[in-house]
């Protein structure tokens, strides 16, 4: 999932959806950095 996709979600006004995907994206980041 690319940051560009997250930006598109943010611009489309889906705040709840954006927060959900951002949380998932951050979680994946944490898992990968271990």
Tens of pLDDT, residues 1-26: 567 766 765 656 667 777 888 888 88
Cα 21-13-20 angle, rounded to 5 deg: 15
Contact 22, 1 (CB under 8 A): no
- On whether the pTM is more than 0.95, the answer is no
Residue 28 has pLDDT above 80, yes or no: yes
Which pLDDT belongs to residue 26?
85
Residue of 12, 34, 16, 28 lying closest to 2 (CA atoms)? 28
Give residue 8's pLDDT: 67
DSSP 12: T
Q: Where in the chain are the domains?
A: 3-32
In the prediction, which pLDDT does 18 show?
Answer: 75
């Amino acid at each position: 999932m690319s940051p560009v996709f997250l930006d598109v979600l943010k611009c489309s006004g889906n705040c709840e959806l954006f927060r959900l995907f951002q949380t998932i994206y951050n979680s994946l980041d944490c898992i990968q950095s271990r």
